[in-house]
Amino acid sequence: MFRYIVRRLLQMVLTFFGATFFVYALMFANQDDPIQALAGERPITESVRQALTERYHLDDPFLLQYWYYMKGMLTGDFGTSLTGRKISDMMEVAWPVTIKLGLIAIVIAAAVAVTSGVIAGIRRGSIFDNVTLVITLIILSLPIVVLAPLAQLIFGIKLGWFPPTAGATPTFWALLLPALVLGSLVIATELRVTRSSVAENLRSDYVRTARAKGLSRKRVIGVHVLRNSLIPVVTLIGVDIGGLMSGAIVTERIFNVPGVGFNLFRGIRTEDGPLVVGFVSILVIVFLVVNLLVDLLYAALDPRIRYE
Amino acid sequence: MSESITAAAGPSGAPMMEPKHADKRDKPRSLAGDAWVDLRRNKIFWFAATLVVLILAMAVFPKLFTSADPRDCILARQHGGASGSALFGYDFQGCDVYARTIYGARASIEVGVLATLLSGIIGLLFGLATGYFGGWIDAVLSRFIDIILGIPFLLAAIVLAKRFSSDSNSNGVVAVTITLGILGWTTAARIMRSSVISAKNQDYVAAARMLGAGPGRLMLRHILPNSIASFIVVLTILLGANIASEATLSFLGIGLKGDAISWGIAISDAGSYVRVAPAPLIWPSVFLAATVLAFIMLGDAVRDAFDPKLR
């Protein structure tokens, strides 16, 4: 186990540097003239140019520049957006909203997916099973740019069940519809995995033993089958985080949720390079850490899995 | 153009050669022939294939479906309702929504097919190399794939697309195609790798090697034809995903732009006026969803036919 953790950490460090280097190189390298871009149309005096070059290390070789950027990031300094706000300040406001949104989405998705997945797995081939399979296929192929605006139109505007946009300080109620849309991204895979692992576990030896001991059907399914079927679902959460991040950018923009995705979207639209790089780097780190945690959790949940 | 499209939808096309054999029950059928018999009975396959053909026709010959000019926009018709001449009404700029929706298919299919081809080529080379040679090549390339998979897709796409689209005069088709192409090949490469590994240990490969065939001939003539099926299926599904990604990037403002007609741009633009005029939002969404669904269902059906174990 210890060796596995060390190896995973090393791999994560590699991915982390690879990813941030990739982002940094693409966004900042080979820029025409960042100082002129900063000044716009106005001419720049030589002394100002020199001062700026020195301040932003523009004369240094590329790798050294990357090093300064990494040093800043690892000490919590993510730079300043073009509007002059500190990116770490913007994150402080944005993260709680996005985490709230993501948690609601994950909880709803997991609850629905596990319940219907278990039912579909027990009654394979039934009408319920076939209907859920078709529905998950449709949900799987609905892009979030279709799902989110249509949900807003139908449930927010036409039916008026939910507030169509969330606003500056979103309440739980206002976040519910965006969370449902976001959750639908992951619900289909979770449901299918639950269904197939329930179906598989129902045929296993320990279930036969439990039945032979005379345990009630409720206990066999509720304790023995369910526990073992949930293991693969947990690992899916790690993969899902990446999908949720992508989905959050679109969802938050459509429902005006002032979270990380919304800021990132605004950064893209206003060509705010530092903001995009800062936010993307943080999101990549979060993704890597969550995946590591989920992998470790996997081993803890399932004693059959031994990492060497 | 039309040739590449039929190539991408290949799994349905290739086995079509053998229906004659398939009908004679006593004759042994090839894997493809078997799959075709399965597919012919599959209603989902026919539904998806019909949709795909329709969408391809829309992309190649948009004039068959509409005589209106999608760029003929008159502000006086802003948000005009549906009528005989404009089935879906007019949008904020006074353009015909129906015409724009039909013409939007071309950008989606173009980007989707080209990006999938690019991914396919990269994936094929990587998959063949890692699977056939094994050893350190496999180790290095597989770690490389791990790193790429470690970055959330849309975040990488945002950065790449922004970089490639620095030329403000282009409409972004090349930038989006390259972006999606170089991000999408990993799954295809993994699939290819595993099927190459299982194919290269077969007897007929050993026989060919004993007859003196070199690595190039072994790979191209013996291993490739026998391991390409699941690879093509993955590409079909990837095509659907690429079309969705194109719309997402265009929606975010880093995909197609300028005078390009795209469902993603249409959805993004219409979102601001959704209270006044929902039609310009609804129709591109429906067409986009149907296109993605069609390709994913097609891939799903063909995979089921080729690999009964997965059912």
3-state SS track over A119-156: HHHHCCCCHHHHHHHHHHHHHHHCCHHHHHHHHHHHHH
CB atoms within 10 A of CB A209: 12
In angstroms, the CA B36 to CA B32 distance is 6
A32 chain-B contacts, CB cut-off 8 A: none
Residue B22 maps to a domain: no
pTM for this one?
0.80
Task: Identify the top-confidence range among A79-88, B4-13, B260-269.
Answer: B260-269
Q: Does B17 reside within a domain?
A: no
CA distance B224 to B217: 10
Q: Which amino acid is located at A89 in the chain?
A: D
- Asked if residue B120 belongs to a domain, the reply is yes
Query: Does any domain span residue B9?
Result: no
What is the nearest CA distance from A12 to chain B, expressed in angstroms? 9
**Does residue B183 have a pLDDT over 60?**
yes
With tokens 């998950």, the residue in question is A136
In a domain, B1, yes or no: no
Q: What is the CA radius of gyration of chain A?
A: 24
Which two tokens mark B148? 């790429």
List chain B residues with CB under 8 Å of A11. Answer: 146
* Whole-number pLDDT of residue A43: 75
Residue A50, helix vs strand vs coil: helix
Q: Please give the Cα distance from A261 to A276 (Å, whole number).
A: 10
- Cβ–Cβ of B251/A15 closer than 8 Å? no
Average pLDDT, chain B: 79
What integer is the mean pLDDT of B270-276? 78
> Which residues in chain A are contacts of B297 at CB distance < 8 A?
137, 141
Assigned token pair, A167: 């606003």
The answer to whether residue A146 neighbours chain B at the CB level (below 8 Å) is yes
Question: Nearest 5 degrees, angle CA A71-CA A77-CA A83?
Answer: 130
Position B121 confidence tier, pLDDT thresholds 50, 70, 90: very high
Cβ within 8 Å of residue A141, ≥6 positions away: B240, B244, B289, B292, B293, B296, B297
- Which residue ranges make up each domain of chain A? 2-74, 90-269
Residue identified by tokens 């079909």 is: B236
Partnered with residue B90 across adjacent β-strands are B96
CB contact under 8 A, B150 and A283: no
How many domains does the structure of chain B reveal?
A: 1
CB contact under 8 A, A153 and B274: yes
pLDDT higher than threshold 50 for residue B4? no
**pLDDT 10s digit of each residue in chain A, 308 long?**
677 778 778 877 877 787 778 777 777 655 556 666 666 667 777 787 777 777 767 777 777 878 887 888 777 777 777 777 888 888 888 888 888 888 899 889 888 988 898 888 888 878 888 898 888 888 887 888 888 888 888 888 878 788 878 777 777 787 888 888 888 888 888 888 888 888 888 888 888 898 898 888 888 888 888 888 888 787 777 777 878 888 888 898 888 888 888 888 888 777 777 788 788 878 888 888 887 788 777 777 776 666 55
User: Are B289 and A142 a contacting pair at CB < 8 A?
Assistant: yes
Cα B182 to chain centroid distance, Å, stands at 14
Are A265 and B288 a contacting pair at CB < 8 A? no
Q: Does domain A90-269 have CATH number 1.10.1660?
A: no
Q: What is the pLDDT at residue B8?
A: 41
Q: List the domain range (segments joined by +) for residue B160.
A: 37-310
Check: complex ipTM more than 0.85? no
Q: Is B93 exposed, middle or buried (0-12, 13-18, 19+ CB in 10 A)?
A: middle
Put simply, the answer to whether B274 touches A280 (Cβ < 8 Å) is no
**pLDDT at site B122:** 93
From B103's Cα to the closest Cα of chain A, the distance in A is 18
Tell which of A31, A141, A264, A291 to mutate to test the B interface (max B CBs under 10 Å): A141
Q: Is residue B264 part of a domain?
A: yes
- Whether B296 maps to a domain, the answer reads yes
Q: Which residues of A236-247 are buried (b: 16+ CB within 10 A; e: fewer)?
A: bbbbbbbbbbbb
Q: For A293, how many CA atoms within 13 A lie in the half-sphere containing its CB?
A: 9
Query: Domain with B139 in it: what CATH number?
Result: 1.10.3720.10
**Is the CB of A306 inside 8 Å of chain B's CB atoms?**
no
- Domain-located, residue B224: yes
Residue A29 touches partner B, C-beta closer than 8 Å: no
Q: pLDDT tens digit string along B78-117?
A: 777 777 676 777 777 778 888 888 888 888 899 999 999 9
